[in-house]
Structure formats: C-alpha cells, structure tokens
C-alpha cells in the first residue's frame, strides 16, 4: 500500500513493538506528529519540557525495560538538544533510536532556518547516524536503526529525515522485525578451555561484574558461575544489580568510591574475572598498580575493550550470557573457603560508616532501601548523591539502578525516572538528585505532573555542588570557586507551582514516614532533604593513586593528628 513518509515512520515503530515515544514537536517534524496523532491509541507520546528530557526519558525507559527507547525532535536546536542524552546513552551502551527531521532536500547545506547537520554532529556518539533523503529508503533505514541499536554491544542510533521525505509517498510493505542473535561466532573453544583452566588454577579469584552482564541478561547465569567458582563479587557502577547486592559473596563496588573490601580484594586476588566491564579510570585508579597480583580474564562482547585500559592474560569475545553458559557447563565446583573467609573479614574490618544521629545521604539511602524492600527502581543524577545511592542501597536485581556512569550527566535522573516509570508502571521509581543537578532539568517536573507519572523526586539539598566542593576541600586548599549555591530558591514552592506535592525532611526520624506516605499516594512527589554541605563521600581514592590506597574520614583524621 502507498503511504507517505510520516505514516511509514509510525508503521515501522509499530513493527518494532514501540509503545511509547518521548519528544517535542516543531516545524520540520510536524508531518510525523500529524501521523502520530492518528495512532495515539497504539503509541503513547510523552511531551517532555525539553528535548534533553526526552532523550533521558528514552534512555531510562531502555535501561529499565531492556527494550529500545525512542525519542523525537525537530530540526536545528530541537535536534541539538538531544545530543547530551545521545552521548549519555553511547557511553553506557544503552539502545535508543533518536528520530529527528530536517529541512527539505533543496534547502540542505544552505544555512536554512533551523537547519543543522545533526547526523554529522552525532556521528562520534552513536553506533550509526543516518540521514534519509529518499522516501523509498525510509522504512529499511528505520528497521536497520533498531537492529543496530540492539545487536552486539547496544547503543544509540540517530535517524534524521528531511521534511519532504515525511510528505512524499511510496509503497510500504509490513515486515517482521529481524531477530537479534546473540554474538556467539567470536566465542572460540580454545578461549573457553583456557578460561576454565585459569579458573581451576586460581586460589584467590574475584568476579568483577559490569554493565555488560546486565545488557546480556546474564544475571541468573552469573549467579551460577559465581557459586561454581566460589568467589567474592565486586561490581562497577554500571554493573549494580547484575549480582545481588544482599548476597554474602558481594564485597561492594570497585574503584574511586568503592568499598575498601572490594578494592583490597581485587588488589590481593590472583585471578580477576571481568564480566562485561570496560575498566573505566574510576574503577582502576592508577592502571600500573591495578590488580598487580592477579591474572586478568576478561569476557566482553566488544573486542575493542580487550587490552584497551588494562592488559589481559586471556579473554573470551562474545555475548556474556553465552560465555558463562559454556564455562559453567565445563567447570567443576571450586572451593575457596579460606579466601571467601578472608574477604568476609575485610568486609567486617572496613564497613561503610556514617553518622546515624543526623540527616545525611547514606542514612537516607538505607532508609529508602528499608521502606521499598530493595524493589524500587532508583535513578540518579551525578555527584555525591549518586555515590551514596550506589553505596548504601543494595541492588538485588538488574535494571534497578539507572545512572549516567560514563558521561556523568548532571540533570539525567528526572527524565530517566519518568521513562522508567512509563515503562514499568508497577515499580516504585525514585530519582536521587543533588540541588545542583536538579536545577539542570527540573522543568521535567511539569512533565510528571501533566501525565500524572508517579515518580518520587528526592533532592539532597546541601546548597553546594557537593562533589566538586569535596575535591576543592581535599585537593584545592578549600578554595570553593563557583560551587556555593547560597540563594533563596525554594524547591518545595517550585514543585507546588508545577502541580507536584512536596515535602521537606530535616531530621532522621522523618525519613520513613515521609517516604511511606509518598509511595502510598501514587502521584508525583518531591522530597527535599536538607543536608550538611561538608558531608563527603567515603571511601575515596585520590586521582592517580592505586585503589589499594582508598581512604575515609578516619584515615584523614589519623593523618592530621600525626
């Protein structure tokens, strides 16, 4: 049948099982929105307050559901406003398809009104960027975009479509989406055998779980693998929930703000088994002194990650789930009881400490875990609150922590929370933000209110840019340049003005009743938590130092008293 380009776009989204699109209309994309209007009973459109919010919502939807997130934007500034969200998804390997529209073909390259080369701009931060100038190529391009976003290592894809293509007609034939096969052709039998032998020979193994274990849905197989290897587990920020954070084998997050037990375990181990992690600088610290006592065995779907940051002794390239299945089939039950006991002692000797007598981030996160039973989806912005959310909420399942790990995008969390809640209506969704981050995209409160999306927005309000101030305090002689937010902004009034119910918490005993009430209301809620500006995230590793030199407040006090 003959359809115009806009109708083809909608039909292709329906082919792919898309039920929700986040976006913002404009002149160049008007034809698409007109077609979308006619299919509003099949595809829900969430009008965000800003295109960046749409990109983060698509990202949060993808992370929480495991499906591809979709966002729309018009040409020029509409398209460029997606860039930060696309880059966020790229750094964390999140599958989204961003569809933008541009000026007509005759106007391309002439500095026309609201014209920009968005395909060129996003080329370095997407798996692929398309520009469609021929309606006959439109359907296949959209189908390719979804395939590329999902296959192998996931990531964002941009499809830019000229306005005349959205109006032109051609024949459309409905097609069943291509089945995405797991990457197995790169898994070599000799690599599997070598990996099994290395595991058998190890006396002090540690399993390091990253975001790839979540992307491949390998959580159950990872648990079986860990039990067979009989090893403690550490994770990256992106890997949280891949392995149950309440399991006795769990030693904590690795790296700059990881637990001392995790950092010391990796420093002492003789085999580090890496499942879907990329050895970020925030994980490794000084790479020359990282896991020097260990052989490194890395499993990753992306061959480019092998030997990129840390030299490996062996690797297996392919889908993490399939790799773990094959190794589990060959591996006999191991016994490392003495090593497990040693790591248990490290956990006992170096617990995560904080002051329970006054309101602070760690206490709030532990109380949120208590109230939700660990079954909520937590999104975060970036900074101290992000680290407290990672350290003090035990993620039991994958896809329950949504956070910008690679790009570190302030303002990410609220949009992501909206996307997650739209995709997972039965889940409690809570965004943890600092007051500095909240200012970046707080306009998305209006989105939550407009659609009555019951997310809980939590502001850790310490009146400073907390993490930057922490670095200024520790490494810049307490010169607090441009990090103090002493002003008269009233976040409760802002929330109420946007139609959001709001609370303020100032004392520990208020945490549980306020959160219980907020959850029970099942409406959008903002909770402002007044914190001390001098609170810090510990443990911490100084930039350039090895992770074995993690320090906390007690270590600083001892140093000051020497």
Say what the pLDDT of residue 287 is: 97
Q: Which band of pLDDT confidence, cut at 50, 70 and 90, is reported for residue 389? A: very high
- With beta carbons less than 8 A apart as the criterion, state whether 451 and 436 touch: no
Which band of pLDDT confidence, cut at 50, 70 and 90, is reported for residue 325?
A: very high
- What does DSSP assign to residue 75? S
In a domain, 179, yes or no: no
CB-count exposure of residue 487 (10 Å: 0-12, 13-18, 19+): exposed
CA atoms of 33 and 35, how far apart (whole Å): 5
Q: Do 198 and 146 belong together in one domain?
A: no
448 and 515 in a single domain? The answer is yes
> What does the alpha-carbon distance between residue 41 and residue 43 come to, in Å, rounded to a whole number?
6
- Residue 178: per-residue pLDDT: 87
| CA 260 centroid distance within chain | 23
| pLDDT single digits (tens) 202-225 | 999 999 999 999 999 999 999 999
Note the pLDDT of residue 206.
98
Q: What is the pLDDT of residues 26-84, one digit of tens each?
A: 999 999 999 999 999 999 999 999 999 999 999 999 999 999 999 999 999 999 999 99
C-alpha 231 chain-centroid distance: 26
> How far apart are alpha carbons 424 and 429 in whole angstroms?
9
Is pTM beyond 0.85? Reply is yes
Active site members: 51, 113-114, 163, 467
Give CA–CA dist 512/326, Å, rounded.
45
Mean pLDDT, the chain, rounded, equals 97
The answer as to whether 561 is a domain residue is no
DSSP string for 363-384: HHHHHHHHHHTT-SEEEE-SSH
- 478 and 510 within one domain: yes
d(Cα 28, Cα 154) in Å, to the nearest integer?
A: 29
DSSP state of 334: P
Dist. CA 450–CA 45, nearest whole Å: 12
pLDDT of residue 559: 82
Residues 324 and 440 in one domain: no
Phi and psi of 497, rounded to 5°?
A: -65, -25
Give the chain's domain count: 3
Q: Which two tokens stand for residue 221?
A: 């197989």
- Tell me, yes or no, whether 228 lies in a domain: yes
Same domain, 272 and 294: yes
Give the pLDDT band (50/70/90) at residue 532: very high
Q: Are residues 25 and 141 in the same domain?
A: yes
Q: What pLDDT does 54 receive?
A: 98
pLDDT value at 511 more than 80: yes
Count Cα neighbours of 84 within 13 Å in the Cβ-side half-sphere.
20
- CATH number for position 248: 3.40.50.1220
**Is residue 340 domain-shared with residue 440, that is, in the same domain?**
no
Task: Give the per-residue pLDDT at 558.
Answer: 85
Same domain, 473 and 506: yes
Tell whether 393 is covered by a domain.
Answer: yes
Question: End of a domain among 326, 349, 372?
Answer: 349
Is pLDDT at 540 greater than 90 in this prediction? yes
- Enter the DSSP assignment of 550: -
pLDDT mean over 398-427:
98
Contact partners, residue 46, CB within 8 Å, separation at least 6: 20, 21, 22, 23, 54, 57, 418, 422, 447, 451
Residue 557 forms part of a structural domain = no
145 and 195 together in one domain: no
Q: If you average pLDDT over residues 431-439, what whole number do you get?
A: 98
Alpha-carbon gap, residue 262 to 381, rounded angstroms:
24
| pLDDT higher than 80, residue 562 | no
Element housing 140 (H / E): helix 138-150
46: domain CATH number is 3.40.50.970
Is the residue at 176 inside a domain? Answer: no
Q: What's the rounded Cα separation, in Å, for the pair 480 and 278?
A: 33
Question: What is the extent of the structural domain holding 310?
Answer: 189-349
State the pLDDT confidence band at 285, using cuts at 50, 70 and 90.
Answer: very high
Total number of residues shown for the chain: 562
DSSP 333: P
Bridge partners, 530 (sequence order): 461
- pLDDT (tens digit, 9 = 90+) per residue, 163-200? 999 999 999 999 999 899 999 999 999 999 999 999 99
Q: Could you tell me the pLDDT band of residue 539, with boundaries at 50, 70 and 90?
A: very high
pLDDT tens per residue across span 489-499: 999 999 999 99
Q: Tell me the percentage of the chain whose pLDDT exceeds 70.
A: 100
Asked if residue 279 and residue 156 are part of one domain, the reply reads: no
For residue 212, give the H/E element and its range.
Answer: helix 211-215
Which positions ≥6 away from 390 have C-beta within 8 Å? 237, 240, 253, 257, 380, 401, 403
Q: Where are the alpha helices (DSSP H) in 307-428?
A: 320-330, 337-349, 361-372, 384-392, 412-423
């Amino acid at each position: 049948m003959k359809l115009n380009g806009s109708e083809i776009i909608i039909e292709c989204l329906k082919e792919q099982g898309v039920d929700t699109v986040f976006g913002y209309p404009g002149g160049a994309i008007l034809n698409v929105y007109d077609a979308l209007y006619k299919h509003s009973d099949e595809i829900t459109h969430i009008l965000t307050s800003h295109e960046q919010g749409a990109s983060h919502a698509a990202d949060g939807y993808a992370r929480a559901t495991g499906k591809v997130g979709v966002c729309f934007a018009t040409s020029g500034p509409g398209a460029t406003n997606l860039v930060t969200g696309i880059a966020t998804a790229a750094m964390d390997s999140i599958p989204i398809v961003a569809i933008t529209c541009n000026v007509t073909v005759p106007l391309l390259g002439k500095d026309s009104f609201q014209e920009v080369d968005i395909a060129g701009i996003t080329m370095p931060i997407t798996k692929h960027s398309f520009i469609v100038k021929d309606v006959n190529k439109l359907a296949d391009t959209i189908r390719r975009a979804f395939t590329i976003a999902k296959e192998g290592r996931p990531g964002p894809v941009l499809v830019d479509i000229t306005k005349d293509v959205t109006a032109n007609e051609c024949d459309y034939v409905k097609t069943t989406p291509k089945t995405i096969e797991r990457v197995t052709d790169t898994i070599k039998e000799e690599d599997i055998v070598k990996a099994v032998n290395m595991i058998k020979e190890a006396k002090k193994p540690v399993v390091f779980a990253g975001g790839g274990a979540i992307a491949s849905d390998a959580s159950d197989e990872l648990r079986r693998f860990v039990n067979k290897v009989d090893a403690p587990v550490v994770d990256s920020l992106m890997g949280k929930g891949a392995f149950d954070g309440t399991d006795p084998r769990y030693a904590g997050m690795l790296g700059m703000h990881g637990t001392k037990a995790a950092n010391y375990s990796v420093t002492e181990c003789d085999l580090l088994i890496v499942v879907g992690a990329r050895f970020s600088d925030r994980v490794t610290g000084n790479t020359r002194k990282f896991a020097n006592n260990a052989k490194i065995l890395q499993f990753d779907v992306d061959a480019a990650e092998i030997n990129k940051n840390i030299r490996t002794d062996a690797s297996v390239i392919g889908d993490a789930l399939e790799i773990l299945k094959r190794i589990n089939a060959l591996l006999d039950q191991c016994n490392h009881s003495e090593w497990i006991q040693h790591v248990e002692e490290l956990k006992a000797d170096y617990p995560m400490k904080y002051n329970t007598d006054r309101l602070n981030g760690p206490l709030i996160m532990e109380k949120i875990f208590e109230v939700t039973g660990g079954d909520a989806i937590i999104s975060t912005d970036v900074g101290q609150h992000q680290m407290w959310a990672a350290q003090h909420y035990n993620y039991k399942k994958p896809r329950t922590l949504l956070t910008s790990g690679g790009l570190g995008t302030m303002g990410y969390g609220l949009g992501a929370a909206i996307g997650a809640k739209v995709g997972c209506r039965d889940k409690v969704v809570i965004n943890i933000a600092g007051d500095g981050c909240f200012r970046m995209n707080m306009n998305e409160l209006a989105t939550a209110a407009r659609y009555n999306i019951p997310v809980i927005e939590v502001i850790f309000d310490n009146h400073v840019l907390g993490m930057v101030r922490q670095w200024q305090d520790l490494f810049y002689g307490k010169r607090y340049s441009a990090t103090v937010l002493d002003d008269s902004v009233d976040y409760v009034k802002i929330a109420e003005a946007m139609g959001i119910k709001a609370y303020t918490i100032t004392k520990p005993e208020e945490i549980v009743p306020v959160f219980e009430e907020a959850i029970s209301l099942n409406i959008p809620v903002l909770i402002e938590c007044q914190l001390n500006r001098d609170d810090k995230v510990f443990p911490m590793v100084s930039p350039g130092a090895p992770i074995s030199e993690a320090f906390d407040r007690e270590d600083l006090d001892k140093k000051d008293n020497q």
